[in-house]
């Protein structure tokens, strides 16, 4: 699967990307969302990690964009991105870049957000 568009790309490309991610997410659901219970707990244990996943839901971003959009410091964003990457919830699309690394949600990251949305919609997290 290709890296997908960067946030701010044209809506046509974003729509195609979102549809692709939706298909991938359904495939992950069909596999039973293995391991996402632990990941969900890991995410909701930190407001910062949760906020970063929500920001990345809109598209690929670099840490400074995430910091600007979320109001978090770049240090906190960078630290949380490393933690999230260690749990395979986000991935860096250009890990060899010294600056402006681009991050996106993984299928597992999308599944965690979907689970969280489902729990909220049914009143479990309210």
Residue 40 is part of a domain; what is its CATH number? 1.10.10.10
Contacts of 89 (CB under 8 A, 6+ apart): 39, 43, 53, 105, 106, 108, 109, 112
Residue 91 lies in a domain: yes
pLDDT of amino acid 33: 47
Range of the domain at 108: 11-118
Q: Residue 114 and residue 75: Cα distance in Å, rounded?
A: 27
Query: Rounded to two decimals, what is the model's pTM?
Result: 0.68
Total number of domains constituting the chain: 1
Residue 5 lies in a domain: no
Phi, psi of 58 (to 5 degrees): -80, -15
Contacts of 98 (CB under 8 A, 6+ apart): none
Q: Give 39-75 pLDDT, tens digit per residue.
A: 888 998 999 999 999 999 999 999 999 999 999 999 9
Q: Give 77-111 pLDDT, tens digit per residue.
A: 999 999 999 999 999 999 999 999 999 999 999 99
């Amino acid at each position: 699967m290709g890296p997908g568009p960067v946030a701010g790309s044209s809506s046509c490309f974003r729509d195609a990307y979102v549809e692709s991610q939706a298909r991938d997410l359904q495939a992950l659901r069909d596999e039973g969302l293995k391991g996402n219970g632990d990941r969900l707990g890991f995410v909701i244990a930190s407001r910062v990690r949760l906020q970063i996943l929500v920001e990345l839901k809109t598209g690929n971003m670099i840490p400074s964009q995430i910091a600007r959009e979320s109001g978090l410091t770049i240090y906190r964003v960078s630290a949380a991105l490393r933690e999230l990457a260690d749990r395979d919830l986000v991935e860096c699309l250009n890990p060899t870049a010294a600056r402006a690394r681009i991050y996106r949600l993984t299928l597992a990251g999308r599944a965690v957000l979907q689970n969280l949305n489902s729990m909220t919609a049914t009143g479990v997290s309210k």
